[in-house]
Amino acid sequence: MPTPVLVAVLSCKAVIAVLLLAAGGAKLADLSGFASTVRLFLPRPARARSPQLAAGIAVGELAAGAVSLSVPQARWPSLVVLAVCVAFALTWSVGYVRHRGRSCRCFGALSAREFDQAGVVRAGVLVLAALAAAAPVPVLSVQLGLGGRLALLAGGALIAGATCSAAAAAGPRQALARRAMSRQAL
Amino acid sequence: MTLRIPLYLAIAQWALLGALGVLVIVLFRQLGRLLRGTATAAELGPVIGSRAAGLSYLRPGEQVPRKLAPGTGQPALIAFVDPTCPSCEQLVLTLDQLQAAGDLAAVRVLLLISDPASYLQISEAFSATELEIGRPSDPAGLESYRVTGTPLLVAVDASGMVTATGSAIRAAEVRRYIQASLGSTQAPAVAPAAVVRGEGTA
Contact B169, B87 (CB under 8 A): yes
Are B8 and A69 an interchain contact pair (Cβ–Cβ within 8 Å)?
Answer: no
Q: For chain A, positions 121-150, list CB contacts with chain B under 8 A.
A: 137, 140-144, 148
**pLDDT confidence of residue B87:** 84
Residue A100 near chain B (CB below 8 Å): no
What integer best gives the mean pLDDT of chain B? 81
- pLDDT reading at A140 higher than 60: yes
What is the rounded CA–CA span in Å between residue B69 and residue B67?
Answer: 6
Provide, as residue numbers in chain A, all residues whose Cβ is less than 8 Å from the Cβ of B81.
Answer: none
Lowest mean pLDDT among B35-49, B52-66, B124-138, B166-180: B35-49
Per-residue pLDDT tens digits for B3-41: 567 889 989 999 999 999 999 998 888 888 777 765 455
Segment A122-130 mean pLDDT: 95
For B172, residues 6+ apart whose C-beta sits below 8 A from its C-beta are none
Lowest mean pLDDT among B27-36, B178-187, B189-198: B189-198
**pLDDT confidence of residue B31:** 83
Buried b (16+ CB within 10 A) or exposed e, A128-156: ebbebbbbebeeebbebeeebeebbeebb
Q: How close does chain B come to A157, measured CA to CA in Å?
A: 10
Are A184 and B30 an interchain contact pair (Cβ–Cβ within 8 Å)?
Answer: no
Are B8 and A44 an interchain contact pair (Cβ–Cβ within 8 Å)?
Answer: no
User: Counting runs of H as helices and runs of E as strands, what totals does chain A give?
Assistant: 8, 1
Are B202 and A173 an interchain contact pair (Cβ–Cβ within 8 Å)?
Answer: yes
**pLDDT confidence of residue B41:** 54
Provide, as residue numbers in chain B, all residues whose Cβ is less than 8 Å from the Cβ of A47.
Answer: 122, 124
- pLDDT reading at A94 higher than 60: yes
Question: DSSP 3-state assignment of B1?
Answer: coil
Segment B67-86 mean pLDDT: 87
Band of residue A153 on the pLDDT scale cut at 50, 70, 90: very high
Segment A87-92 mean pLDDT: 94
Provide, as residue numbers in chain B, all residues whose Cβ is less than 8 Å from the Cβ of A71.
Answer: none
Segment A131-158 mean pLDDT: 90
* Backbone dihedral angles phi then psi of residue B31, each to the nearest 5 degrees: -65, -40
Name the most confidently modeled range: A40-49, A90-99, B39-48, B79-88.
A90-99
What is the rounded CA–CA span in Å between residue A91 and residue B169?
Answer: 31
Q: How close does chain B come to A93, measured CA to CA in Å?
A: 19
Question: DSSP 3-state assignment of B186?
Answer: coil
> Higher pLDDT residue, B148 or B89?
B89
What is the rounded CA–CA span in Å between residue A102 and residue A116?
Answer: 9
Per-residue pLDDT tens digits for A1-32: 788 899 999 999 999 999 999 999 999 998 88
What integer best gives the mean pLDDT of chain A? 87
Band of residue A180 on the pLDDT scale cut at 50, 70, 90: very low
